Amino acid sequence: MKPFTTLQGLVAPLDRANVDTDAIIPKQFLKSIKRSGFGPNAFDEWRYLDRGEPDRDCSARPLNPDFVLNQARYRGASILLARENFGCGSSREHAPWALEDFGFRAIIAPSFADIFFNNCFKNGILPIVLAADVVDRLFRETEAQEGYRLTIDLAAQTVTTPAGEVIRFAVDGESKHRLFNGLDDIGLTLLHTDRIKAYEERRRAEAAWLFQA
């Protein structure tokens, strides 16, 4: 996994609440058996005017001019500004895969759905929870200033605005450590092999039926 240390990036605002993972990556693209290449289909139904199909070249498809991420001023954005309960619905990890492939490395919102939030950390994306009024202000500033960029420092747990304002955010220590160092969960888990085996032995004695199958 790509480590996340600091990020200085252009901000794109997606001003709607309860953005679900079906919207982030529609179901027909979930038929892929690969982990990459979902970026061109991120927000497919909002982004294009025609219907998207898997394995179809998106470069010539008609773009929806009303969709915010299609605006030239947000091209190359790496920070997504969002509203409440971002990433709700389906557990599909294709959603963070698509956002990462699109170019986003951080998402700022007042709240996230639990499974999506967790999936972001597995894919080098930092989801940042900020108070709703702070997010509201960032929306206004992003929309008012073309080229609005934020600086995110994971070690310091800060977001810095172009005006120099420093906003602190909370992040769980373990998730921070793993994301900062780009650590692989499976490798970390296998360091505990002896503990897992000891647990299984104990559990077999007290709940044998779970091991009967």
Partner 1 sequence: MARTLYDKLWDAHVVHQEENGTALIYIDRHLVHEVTSPQAFEGLKLAGRRLWQAKTVLATPDHNVPTTDRAAGIVDPVSRTQVETLDANCAEFGLNEFRMDDSRQGIVHVIGPEQGFTLPGATLVCGDSHTSTHGAFAALAFGIGTSEVEQVLATQCLWQKKSKSMLVNVNGDLPLGVTAKDLALAIIGRIGTAGGNGYAIEFGGSTIRALSMEGRMTLCNMAIEAGARAGMVAADEKTIAYVEGRPQAPKGVHWQQAVAYWRSLHSDDGAPFDAVLEFDGAAIKPQVTWGTSPEMVLSVEDRVPNPADAPSAVKKADWERALAYMGLAAGTPIGEISIDKAFIGSCTNSRIEDLREAAAVARWAVSQGRRVADTVRLAIVVPGSGLVKAQAEAEGLDQDFRAAGFEWREPGCSMCLAMNADRLEPGERCASTSNRNFEGRQGQGGRTHLVSPAMAAAAAVFGHFVDIRGLHGAAQR
Nearer to partner 1, 16 or 75 (CB): 16
CB atoms within 10 A of CB 163: 7
Shortest distance, CB of residue 124 to partner 1, whole angstroms? 11
Residues that bind partner 1 (CB under 8 A): 15-18, 20, 22-23, 26-28, 30-35, 45, 51, 54-55, 83-85, 88-93, 96, 111-115, 118-119, 122-123, 172-174, 185-186, 188-190, 192, 195-196, 199-200, 203, 207-210, 212-213
Write down the least CB distance from residue 11 to partner 1, Å: 19
Q: Is the Cβ–Cβ distance between 154 and 179 less than 8 Å? A: yes
Q: Which is nearer to partner 1, 73 or 176 (CB)?
A: 176
> How does DSSP classify residue 197?
H
The tokens describing 165, both together, are 């304002």
Minimum distance, C-beta of residue 61 to partner 1, in the bound complex (Å)? 13
Helical segments of the chain, H only: 21-24, 44-47, 94-102, 114-121, 132-144, 173-181, 185-190, 193-206
For 167, the 3-state DSSP assignment is strand
Considering the complex, state which of residue 54 and residue 147 has its C-beta at the smaller distance from partner 1: 54
Query: For residues 10 and 128, which CB has a smaller minimum distance to partner 1 in the complex?
Result: 128
Query: In a 3-state reduction of DSSP, which class is residue 109?
Result: strand
